[in-house]
Copies of this chain bind each other. A is one copy, B any other.
Amino acid sequence: MANVGSDKPNIRQVATIAGVSHMTVSRVLNDYPNIKPETRRRVLEAIEELDYRPNLVARALATQRSQRIGVIVESAVAHGPTSILRAVELAARGAGYSVTPIALLEGDPLTPQDAVDSLTTQGVDAICVIAPRSSSVAALRRVAMSVPMLVIKADADPTFLTVSIDQNAGAALVVDHLVSLGHRDILHVSGPLDWLDARARERAFHTRAKSWGVRERPIVVGDWSADFAYDFAIGLKRLPDFTAIFAANDDTAIGLIHGLHERGFDVPGDLSVVGFDDVPLARHFLPPLTTVRQDFEALGSAAVEMLRAAIEKREIPQVTRIPTELVVRESTAAPREVR
């Protein structure tokens, strides 16, 4: 800790002080076997004395490993992607990796390919894509990949590694809940169907609804936003003939509730509304929102685990489906007819 010789010490200075070659220092640093305990001690002391830290850039050049994971996030504002990014960063850190995010904003001139390009040029060891559009996935499928790439999406994929939230189960939970309350007419307000998650929820809703004999009705395609949902609800002339709405995410649900309220409809009195995400505020909406919670931490860990395996060319763990959980609050109730 002493001897703050102006500039950062390097491995050879440590070696000199310890009276060994720089390779021996390197070996100590990297926990090689076959170092005499006495030697190791001397090296460690020298490291301590100089307050030496290995230069990770130099190491990356020598090993061709940067210990970095690039993360491409489409739609970085929403709760889901943000939480996933944070979870991935956390898991990566735990595994000795750091993370470099690139957000693809609405109308960003940067294409997914550009992002991949930029990331690989920077030398990341792997790339993780969060919550993408199917068009992006299609585009990505076409770019030559020099590093492992994982896509967090709804279904398995032959081209990429995948980890996914079990949207099927989540949507099924919602439908089951509504059906058990007595609803037989459910509207789904989806996200943009180009979004994989939106598509998955929509499909799952459809399938489950059909299996219960819920009346078929065309879904309303939203855009994840509360604004859209609000406008839609405002547009309702009279109490519609469906008794419940399954919104693709909490934002949509809240916009719906706002609009319905302004139209003079009561939730859940006139209509039940369910969301998806369980944003932190969901339990404080009026009424508190019934929604689906996803385990982002587990998602992040699984993603990093797979990526690590791929980087180190170990056997890749099985594709994981992260479970979901229905959180029942006050925005759902039995439909009028049943009461």
Task: Decide if B61 touches A57 in the complex (CB within 8 Å).
Answer: yes
> What B residues does A58 contact at CB under 8 A?
61
> What B residues does A280 contact at CB under 8 A?
77, 225-226, 251
Q: List 16 A-B contacts (CB under 8 A).
A: A8-B146, A53-B117, A56-B123, A86-B103, A89-B102, A89-B103, A90-B105, A99-B100, A100-B100, A101-B101, A226-B281, A226-B283, A251-B281, A254-B285, A285-B285, A286-B286
Interface residues of A in 246-269 (CB under 8 A from B): 251, 254-255, 257-258, 261
- Assess whether A60 is interfacial by the CB under 8 Å rule: yes
> What B residues does A57 contact at CB under 8 A?
57, 60-61, 66, 122-123
- Assess whether A13 is interfacial by the CB under 8 Å rule: no
- Assess whether A39 is interfacial by the CB under 8 Å rule: no
Q: A interface vs B, CB < 8 Å?
A: 8, 53-58, 60-61, 66, 68, 76-77, 82-83, 86, 89-90, 93, 98-103, 105, 110, 117-118, 121-123, 146, 225-227, 230, 251, 254-255, 257-258, 261, 279-281, 283-286, 288
Nearest CB to that of A251 among chain B residues? B281
> What B residues does A8 contact at CB under 8 A?
146
> What B residues does A66 contact at CB under 8 A?
57
Task: Decide if A93 touches B102 in the complex (CB within 8 Å).
Answer: yes
Q: Give the residue of B93, B123, B251, B284 whose beta carbon is less than 8 angstroms from that of A255.
A: B284
CA–CA, A167 to B34, complex, Å?
59
> What B residues does A90 contact at CB under 8 A?
103, 105
> What B residues does A100 contact at CB under 8 A?
68, 98-100
Q: What distance in Å separates the Cβ of A285 from its nearest Cβ neighbour in chain B?
A: 7
CA–CA, A123 to B117, complex, Å?
22
Most chain B CB within a 10 A radius of its CB, from A54, A83, A226 = A226
Q: What distance in Å separates the Cβ of A236 from its nearest Cβ neighbour in chain B?
A: 16
CA–CA, A49 to B283, complex, Å?
58
Q: Give the residue of B60, B121, B258 whose beta carbon is less than 8 angstroms from that of A53.
A: B121
Q: Give the residue of B77, B83, B98, B284 whose beta carbon is less than 8 angstroms from that of A122.
A: B98
Task: Decide if B284 touches A281 in the complex (CB within 8 Å).
Answer: no
CA–CA, A66 to B60, complex, Å?
12
